[in-house]
Amino acid sequence: MTRYLLQMCKAMIVCSLGLGGGVAMFALIVFIIVKNDQNALENALRMGFGIGQVFALFALAVFIPLDISVKMYKSKGVHKDIWETEQVRDAIMNGSARDVLAACREALLEIPDIKAVREDSENLVVHASAGPSWRSFGEEIEVEINPVAQEQWNVSCHSKPKSKNIVFDWGKNFENVETWKHKLQKSEMFDLTEAH
């Protein structure tokens, strides 16, 4: 949650300076041309920063509840890690490495907006990328398969935004890992005594 709040502060600063900087430039031009004011720079900066802060507070007051409510709705009561844009889910699978790799690939193909899936059968990793949607500029998804015992595997799916500067994903990464896990749970190789 701390990381989420730090991202919110970062978003607020970017909103304040981004919109505020544009308003300040416009106000500076108006103050110089129309009023020929000697304090034009100071007044323009004060005005731009104030409007930027108001916009940032308004945007966060709208976006935070929307982002969290989407994640809470999709989680259906399980609120673990809803604050993070990067999501991880684990599962235990039984079967050969080749079969588990194929099941993971098939589960990744169920994720909405998936564009490419590629396997690294030597390292037991499956990489996927999802294209842009109205909620996200795209995600990178990686499934790691690690042996637990003979013919038993710990499978871990990581979904994160393609850009590190994403603050809100409207539950897209949460949906990715949950869709993946839901598809795996339908597989006969899924171990009902799954990992946490």
Residue 194: band (very low, low, confident or very high) from pLDDT cuts 50, 70, 90? low
Same domain, yes or no: 10 and 69: yes
Residue 82 placed within a domain: no
Residue 52 placed within a domain: yes
Same domain, yes or no: 10 and 54: yes
Q: What is the DSSP string of the chain?
A: -HHHHHHHHHHHHHHHHHHHHHHHHHHHHHIIIII--TTHHHHHHHHHHHHHHHHHHHHHHHHHHHHHHHHHHHHTT--TTTT-SSEEEEEEEES-HHHHHHHHHHHHTTSTTEEEEEEETTTTEEEEEE--BTTBS-EEEEEEEEEEETTEEEEEEEEEESSTT----TTHHHHHHHHHHHHHHTSTTB-SS---
Same domain, yes or no: 98 and 55: no
Domain count for the chain: 2
Same domain, yes or no: 108 and 156: yes
In CATH, what number is assigned to the domain containing residue 136?
Answer: 3.30.530.20
Same domain, yes or no: 105 and 158: yes
Same domain, yes or no: 64 and 117: no
Most confident of 22-36, 48-62, 88-102: 88-102
**Confidence at residue 196, expressed as pLDDT on a 0 to 100 scale:** 43
Name the pTM for this structure. Answer: 0.69
**Confidence at residue 192, expressed as pLDDT on a 0 to 100 scale:** 57
- Domain around 160: 87-185
